[in-house]
Amino acid sequence: MGGAQYQAKCIIEELIKTQRYEISYLARHYDRNYASNGYELVRYHYPGSEIRGSHRHLIEWSLLPRLLEKIEPDIIYQRVGCSQTGIAAHYALKHRCKMVWHIASESDLESYRFSPSRLFIYRMVDRFLLNYGIKNATDIIAQTGEQQKLLKERFKRTAAAVVPNLHPNPTEKIEKQKPVKIVWVANLKDVKQPEIFIRLASSLQDLPEAQFIMIGAIQGNERKRQGYLDMMNRAPSLKYLGQIPQESVNAILAESHILVNTSSHEGMPNTFIQAWFRQMPVVSLHVNPDQLIEKKMIGFVSGGSFERLKKDVKNLVLDDGLRKKLGINAQTLADEYFSARNIEKIISVIEK
């Protein structure tokens, strides 16, 4: 699952504890063997739903409102900026219910950038419906102050609240043993720039204290998949674990030392928070929500420079004292900003 789906899972689990809501979760895909506990799981599958194309919007414009009419929601909560944002907002206006959109990434608020592609029509329709949803959602929640500012500048709307991602406290034993484990966690796709982490592992393979671990499903066609695997094979110190459950990811983070992020842009990465809760400083190539990494001394931001990224990681590998200090800072910050207590802020918006 992606970050937004993981957050939806965390939010649902916290809302169930209140015993105040009937919850239905609409999803295109899920494991048929999965049994939901305390909420209704509604799958809207149709021929071609796995394929990105402009036709999908036409089907969902008809299908999603029909499913919502059966549920008769008082409140619709939606994450990820896409056509569903607009469809949900239109339904809410028509049926006079509340629609709350939670921003997942700064890119959802940016102007559309034209790029020649066979998916051009899909992206244009997607952006049109997203913008409609942003303009017409009942309330909008931002993850960060930066998102709050962008929302005001681009859409002249004021966020109802700034609510960082929420995570349960770790249940694993946090124990760090040598070698120093440097971890990268994400689905392998262009925006995450996994090739940079592979290059990092290759360039630091002579560092005996370090072990590099990569976690995530490879997205894209077979050519893309094979390209990533070929690069990994040229980095002997890199261990690729593929796609694994969140519980296994957290167990690995609890015994690892440094998280590296190479994404070109993101909102508030869940992996940052998972790592911080487990005493791991973050070294980020670009992403630095609300400048927390530097302000709170919980890692380093490499300013887009590969050489700086390499230097920052190497320094943390070799300096045990600095690494431990930043890890303790990170755990303190995680409990202050990103605990499950944030559910109360979400509840205050959906119930107002």
Taking only the tens place, the pLDDT of each residue in 116-152 is 666 667 778 888 999 999 999 999 999 999 999 999 9
CA distance 226 to 217: 13
User: Per-residue pLDDT for 49 more than 60?
Assistant: no
According to DSSP, the β-strands at 180-185 and 161-162 are unpaired
Interior angle at CA 51, CA 214 and CA 143, nearest 5: 55
180-337 folds as: Rossmann fold (3.40.50)
For the chain, give the longest Cα–Cα distance: 62
- For residues 57 and 121, the answer to whether their CB atoms sit within 8 Å is no
Q: Where are the domains of the chain?
A: 3-163, 180-337
User: Per-residue pLDDT for 46 more than 80?
Assistant: no
pLDDT digits (tens, 9 = 90+) for 183-210: 999 999 999 999 999 999 999 988 988 9
What are 77's strand-pairing partners?
100
CA distance 192 to 243: 15
The band of 51, judged by pLDDT with boundaries at 50, 70 and 90, is low
pLDDT digits (tens, 9 = 90+) for 74-95: 999 999 898 899 999 999 999 9
Question: What is the overall mean pLDDT for the chain?
Answer: 91
Architecture of domain 3-163 in this structure: 3-Layer(aba) Sandwich (3.40)
Tell me the Ramachandran region of residue 41: left when phi exceeds 0, alpha when psi lies from -120 to 50, beta otherwise.
beta
Q: Which residues contact 176 (CB under 8 A, 6 or more apart)?
A: 255, 256, 257, 279, 327
The whole-number pLDDT of residue 90 equals: 97
- For residues 49 and 56, the answer to whether their CB atoms sit within 8 Å is yes
Same fold, 3-163 and 180-337: yes
CA distance 47 to 59: 10
pTM, two decimal places: 0.82
The Cβ of residue 104 has, within 10 Å, a number of other Cβ atoms equal to 22
State the average pLDDT over residues 323-337: 96
pLDDT digits (tens, 9 = 90+) for 204-242: 988 988 999 999 999 888 888 899 999 999 988 899 999
User: Per-residue pLDDT for 346 more than 80?
Assistant: yes
The whole-number pLDDT of residue 202 equals: 94
Of residues 13 and 114, which shows the higher confidence score?
13
- For residues 213 and 232, the answer to whether their CB atoms sit within 8 Å is no
- For residues 154 and 109, the answer to whether their CB atoms sit within 8 Å is yes
Interior angle at CA 49, CA 135 and CA 106, nearest 5: 35
